[in-house]
Structures are given as C-alpha cells and as structure tokens.
Structure 1
Amino acid sequence: MATRLGATPMAALQICLQVWLTSSLLSDGLAVAGQNYEKATSTASRVLLVCF
C-alpha cells in the first residue's frame, strides 16, 4: 500500500521497519544478557556508548 503513495512514504516505511527490527533484536540480546547481571551491565554500557 505504501508503494502506491510514492517514494517518500515507502522510504519512511522502510526506516520505521529498520528501527523496529533493530530495537527488537536489541531487546532480545539484552534479555539473554539479563540472565547474568555482570553481562547485562556490560552490554547496557556498550549500547549506551554506541548510542551517544
């Protein structure tokens, strides 16, 4: 449906899908790392360093 509206809405849809996929994979990674407190804090620190 987004392709009928043109290139700009399609690009916006792709960006939203990429952000959603990235956040989904990141939350899964943090859930696995959350099983060990030391690994969870290390992973969270690295994510914050990359984000800022």
Structure 2
Amino acid sequence: MLTCHICSNSYENPKILSCWHSFCLKCLEEYIPENSLSLVCPLCFVSSVLPASG
C-alpha cells in the first residue's frame, strides 16, 4: 500500500494526482513529458492538470 506503482519501492516524496493515485516525485518527473501541463495517470489513465509551481 505504501509503494510507488512506477518504481515498486517505498514512496520517496510522494505526490497525489487528482485521481487520488500517488507516486514518487522523482518517478513522476521522469514519466511526465517535458514542458507538459498535464499528466495521464499510469494506473487509471485519468488526466491531471499540473500546477504551475510544479
């Protein structure tokens, strides 16, 4: 329950998407297309708008 679904390790600096799935910040940074303003959840495919502050 406390593991990232991208790296399968314990969360490091977890971030929650609008769909309520959570991932490590580092994993999300690698998963997000460069200069993108949104992200599609790798689990449920719901789109989340990224905050301008990161």
TM-score, normalised relative to structure 1: 0.25
Could you say which structure has the larger radius of gyration?
1
TM-score, normalised relative to structure 2: 0.25
More helix by share: 1
